[in-house]
Amino acid sequence: MDVKNAFLLGILNEEVYMTQPGGFEDASQHHLVWKLHKSLYGLKQAPRAWNERFTNFLPSLGFKCSYADPSLFVKTSGSSIVYLLLYVDDIILTGNSEALISELKLALQTEFEMKDLGKLHFFLGLEISYTPDSLFLSQHKYATELIHKAGLDDCHTHRTPCQSGIKLYKDGSSPLSSHDIPYFRSLVGCLQYLTFIRPDIAYSVNYVCQFLHSPTEAHLLATKRILRYVKGTLHHGIYFRRGSLHSPQYTLQAYCDADWAGDPNDRKSTTGFVILLNGSPISWCSKKQTTVSRSSTEAEYRSMADTISEL
């Protein structure tokens, strides 16, 4: 669902004034200004005012804010459950009760002017495809635009996102020019968003992210290799199968690993894990450990501890 003119709906809690707009000036009192009661587009308070207005209304419908995500709200009614996800003025509603969802849609449309966009197919770069018993999430359009932004439309593809055993050093090659540094940082930032549904590039992207402060030519080449791999795997994504949590076949599995002193710059180890529900990944991570492990056993233990904590 999409809220129409969302930033005009926020109630201002502080005094804000504006000059008389063109075409509405009072010629006899041109020295006066207008006091705003509601927010306007372009006002720096507008996003916050709208968010407060909407999130303060949701509890009246029975929603509670999630502890894990401040933009996620959950409503339970008996055995029925509905999730509402808010991103600025875009809303996703889902749940196990069509009647309850319809009731909530009506309540939201009564309070705010909203447009029902139907079944979710595209949201913030995510593309969702449906079959009778599954969902498929991908970022094909976003990845294609990223390849074009990098200027690699005609490049060759790679079968892996990074070279096996590669080590990147802080000062192992020539520093990037002042013109190329923003280009490098922009590409790495875009790749980070791509890791939301691409666990296969999580390690490689995490690796190049460690050199944003002072990148070199080698770091840019490693980033372009990831993009060449992405170009050859544009249709990759995550496949979710329908199932019941109470079914014996519906299992929760976790895998973790760690290298030992794998970073040549500070000798810290890297943790990696993936958690699968019914064979589909629901959580994954690749990050450098905060301390130096003095044995491979210690590095593996830290990795297992992080994985169990996530579970």
pLDDT single digits (tens) 147-169 = 999 999 999 999 999 988 889 99
Q: Residue 66: what pLDDT?
A: 94
Phi and psi at residue 143, to the nearest 5°? -65, -40
Residue 24 is predicted with a pLDDT of 84
pLDDT in tens, 42-62: 899 899 999 999 999 999 999
pLDDT tens per residue, range 242-281: 887 777 778 899 999 999 999 999 999 999 999 999 889 9
Q: What is Dmax (Cα atoms) for the chain?
A: 82
Average pLDDT of every residue of the chain = 93
Q: pLDDT, tens digit, for every residue of 178-237?
A: 999 999 999 999 999 999 999 999 999 999 999 999 999 999 999 999 999 999 999 999
Give residues with Cβ within 8 angstroms of 202, minimum separation 6.
195, 272, 284, 285, 286
Question: Which pLDDT does position 22 carry in this prediction?
Answer: 85
pLDDT of residue 31: 86
pLDDT digits (tens, 9 = 90+) for 105-142: 999 999 999 999 999 999 988 999 999 889 999 999 99
Least confident piece of the model among 20-24, 43-47, 123-127, 300-304: 20-24
Residue type, 96: N
- Runs of H (alpha helix) within the chain: 46-57, 98-111, 140-149, 180-194, 202-209, 217-232, 296-310
Q: Which long-range contacts (CB under 8 A, 24 or more apart) does 124-129 make?
A: 124/87, 124/90, 125/193, 126/196, 126/197, 127/237
Nearest to 51 by CA among 87, 76, 99: 87
- As a three-state string, the secondary structure of 252-309 is EEEEEEECCCCCCCCCCCEEEEEEEECCEEEEEEEEECCCCCCCHHHHHHHHHHHHHH
pLDDT digits (tens, 9 = 90+) for 282-295: 999 999 999 999 99
Q: What is the pLDDT of residue 272?
A: 96
Q: What is the pTM of this model?
A: 0.84
pLDDT, tens only, 1-12: 999 999 999 999
More confident residue, 31 or 73: 73
DSSP 105: H
